[in-house]
Structure 1
Amino acid sequence: MSDTGEEWQVARRRKGAARKSNTLQPCAAAAACCQEELDVGKTVKRIRETVSELRYEDFLKDWKEQLLVAGSASLSEKRDTELSIDHVENGRDSRTSQHLECVCYGLGSFSSCVSARFQLAMLLLLLDAGQIPLKDCSVYDPAFTSGERDVLKELGLTVLTENEEGKRSATKPTLFYLMHCGKALYNNLLWKNWSTQQLPLMIIIGNSFNGMKDRAIEREFKQDYRYISQAVDVCEESVLPCPPRLIDVFSDTAVITFPSSSLNKLPQSTWTEPYEPQYQHCPDLEIIQREAVS
């Protein structure tokens, strides 16, 4: 690899202790320090070199195949729903070709953190594999510097300007790329799409829900992260392979989908008036919330 051993050590320390906010300060400080001097062209080139490096990794094939299987199922769910509605209303078949959209939250400061750069490179490879246009991939992280936002725009991605806190409604088949994000972000995303119509449109590539459950105190998990705790029993998870040398970049990652056949087994009361998550009692909230308007 082209990165120095020292750089990897920094990445390991950051990712290994990601749940402690004070450990993020050195990385954030480095990003702030280089904000004015970030060379957009050089950074874009470095990211594309990382893409080229990952392109020939053996494990990438499995990631692509898992995405294509999940994407095909999600698009099929959407087409079947549209066909059923249109057939009832108009007596005709209106199925058209579609592709996934993509939303990426919590990528991190990829200009100063090697793990974040590899995760960005993987995102670009998955967009290519899924034939998702770059402009149809929206990215956001409050940690992005203005220079990093320029880099993302140069790559062709759409940079969001508002902190959605993960509360994005999936109105069409959408890949959510959430690498090493906090539980609150996943919980918010599930809440916003908590219905038998919308959940099947979602594909999540991110932390395993089963892993979250296993590491949490059961009572607190059910109370604070209600939607993850319910989804873990009906979602389908396919664990993605990760080579040992990239364990701090891609560990504990899975493709998560929500088949209608599983959701329909739950009682109807499951979907009645889902309330918006509140986290007043969470001592270690793993999300940066948007500032309240005074």
Structure 2
Amino acid sequence: MSKSEVDCDGFQIVKSKNSFKKHTKLPQKESKFIKSDVSIDIEQSISRIKSAAEDLQVSEYFKDATKSVSTVVLDKPVVEIVCFGLGQISQCSISKYQLAFLLCLKDVVKPKKVLVHDPIFYKDECELLKRFDLEVIPQNSEGSYIISEHGITIVYLPHCPKQLTNNFLWANWNSNLQNCVLICNSFISLVDNNPSRILSETVPYIYKIYPFTCETVLQNNFKYTDIFNDTSIHCFPKEKLETNPTEFWVKGDKPLYNNTEEFITSLMVEKLNI
């Protein structure tokens, strides 16, 4: 079998059916996640990210994505974009393009603010993000960010662990989810590929909100197919949410997770060094 075409960043232009997803391997839950720090060439990284944004902006993938977002948002103001889980944007080409998507989306919807967090950001990466007018959240809230009540919040979780999405839903477990546009791994794919019993036990808030979600599956037609695979746009229409009885919105304590290697908790990393 001949080798797939590979670009200068190491992307395969043609990929097999089982696409690679970005993961951060972590120690067991009792261990402390020790984050190293390195100096990066900020100017060079900015240049590469701008180049990726220019590449993405003219792609059919981004045009389709922004059209889908606009269909959901309509004429409502987007007050903020919140992004968790970009990864190390100075070293990972997938992370670089996912940041480029965030920047392009920012230019289109023009929110009042854009907030980002990843517990593995280097200090210089935080400075780089600030150069793009992004606000870096220092604390690791494990996705438990409460969205605004005064307009649309777009939440971008690129290839993030399902626990992070579950925590976000838990934090916003009320009818204000109607003001959320969630760009993350497909709920449909998650539900189709996992037993209901497992989902109800491990990510109960995704499991419970799924029947009241409208999902737009984004065609994975960007030239590098490992970057945005399995990504969908999710929204929670008011008319669907209002069909739920009051007891539906009762929530318990913040979820706890066992035996996971993909989810960085606040006990592992408490605060970014910025």
The question of whether the paired residues in 1 share the 8 Å contact of 2:164 and 2:263 is answered with: yes
Cα distance per residue 1:127-164 (max 9 Å; x no partner): 1111224xx00000011101111110111111111111
Give the alignment of 1:161-176 within 5 angstroms: 161-172=138-149, 173-176=152-155
Cα distance per residue 1:248-267 (max 9 Å; x no partner): 10011111000110111123
User: What residue identity is the alignment partner of 2:207?
Assistant: S
Residue 149 (str. 1) matches residue 126 (str. 2)? yes
Q: Distance in 2 between matches of 1:243 and 1:204?
A: 20
Q: Distance in 2 between matches of 1:287 and 1:22?
A: 8
Secondary structure at 2:74 match in 1: helix
Q: Distance in 2 between matches of 1:3 and 1:111?
A: 18
The question of whether the paired residues in 2 share the 8 Å contact of 1:104 and 1:138 is answered with: yes
Contiguous gaps of at least 5 residues in structure 1? 76-97
Deviation of the 1:285 alpha carbon:
5.3
Secondary structure at 2:232 match in 1: strand
Match of 1:80 in 2: none
Match of 2:74 among 64, 72, 75: 72
Q: Distance in 1 between matches of 2:201 and 2:134?
A: 36
Secondary structure at 2:227 match in 1: helix
Match of 2:82 among 103, 112, 122: 103
Match of 2:20 in 1: 16
1:18 and 1:126, CA in 2 relative to 1: closer, same or farther beyond 3 A?
A: closer
Match of 2:217 among 239, 242, 260: 239
Cα distance per residue 1:200-235 (max 9 Å; x no partner): 011101111111122223212101211000111101
Match of 1:112 in 2: 91
Match of 2:30 in 1: none
The question of whether the paired residues in 2 share the 8 Å contact of 1:152 and 1:159 is answered with: yes
Contiguous gaps of at least 5 residues in structure 2? 28-32
User: What residue identity is the alignment partner of 1:58?
Assistant: E
Identity of aligned residues (%): 28
Cα distance per residue 1:139-197 (max 9 Å; x no partner): 0001110111111011111111111111111123210010100111111111111111x
Match of 2:164 among 185, 203, 207: 185
Q: Give the structure, 1 or 2, with the largest relative contact order (CA under 8 Å, sep 6 or more).
A: 2
Deviation of the 1:19 alpha carbon:
5.2
Residue 222 (str. 1) matches residue 222 (str. 2)? no
Residue 276 (str. 1) matches residue 267 (str. 2)? no
Residue 137 (str. 1) matches residue 114 (str. 2)? yes
Cα distance per residue 1:89-142 (max 9 Å; x no partner): xxxxxxxxx433110000011111101100100111111111224xx0000001
Match of 1:61 among 60, 63, 66: 63
Q: Which structure dedicates a bigger proportion of its chain to helix?
A: 1
TM-score by length of 2: 0.84
1:244 and 1:155, CA in 2 relative to 1: closer, same or farther beyond 3 A?
A: closer
The question of whether the paired residues in 2 share the 8 Å contact of 1:71 and 1:100 is answered with: no
- Note the aligned Cα RMSD (angstroms): 2.7
Match of 1:51 in 2: 53
The question of whether the paired residues in 2 share the 8 Å contact of 1:67 and 1:130 is answered with: no
Q: Distance in 2 between matches of 1:118 and 1:203?
A: 20
- Pair member with larger Rg: 1
Deviation of the 1:3 alpha carbon:
4.8
Deviation of the 1:17 alpha carbon:
5.7
Deviation of the 1:32 alpha carbon:
4.7
User: What residue identity is the alignment partner of 2:20?
Assistant: G
Q: Which runs of 4+ in 1 moved over 3 A?
A: 17-20
